Structure 1
């Protein structure tokens, strides 16, 4: 578990993790860390999506094979 850049930070104060009226982070280190974490989440979501596609393909392929076997059709060559 990554605790972020603010563990034991001496400059930390109430509200330092918020954004100003212009949308910039009050704490620059926190803002950089948030952007990095967002990138990691996006990347891991893409990886999960790819793995789900692979699992779906394998399940569909097994189901097709099972149905062909029930009908007594030979394997394609």
Structure 2
């Protein structure tokens, strides 16, 4: 994982990773890095959800076919 933009930063101080009263980041470099991380997390979460939906469909489909086979029902064509 990337250690972040602040490793070795000479302008770093206690509280520089916080926000101002208006909601803006005190350190703009840190703020841009945090926004990029949030975008990556959102994209990653969406991808995980998509893969989970696919896996669930495959598992349910296999269970449905297994049940039909056990009951001796012919498969649709």
* TM-score where L is the length of structure 1: 0.96
Residue deviations 1:7-63, cap 9 Å, x none? 111111110000011111010000000000000010001000000100100000000
Q: Which runs of 5+ in 1 are unaligned?
A: none
2:47 aligned counterpart, secondary structure: helix
Whole-angstrom CA distance in 2 between matches of 1:2 and 1:64: 45
RMSD in angstroms over aligned alpha carbons? 0.6
2:57 corresponds to: 57
Give, in angstroms, the shift of residue 2 of structure 1: 1.3
Structure 1 segments (4+ residues) deviating >4 Å: none
Whole-angstrom CA distance in 1 between matches of 2:4 and 2:76: 55
1:69 corresponds to: 69
1:45 corresponds to: 45
1:5 corresponds to: 5
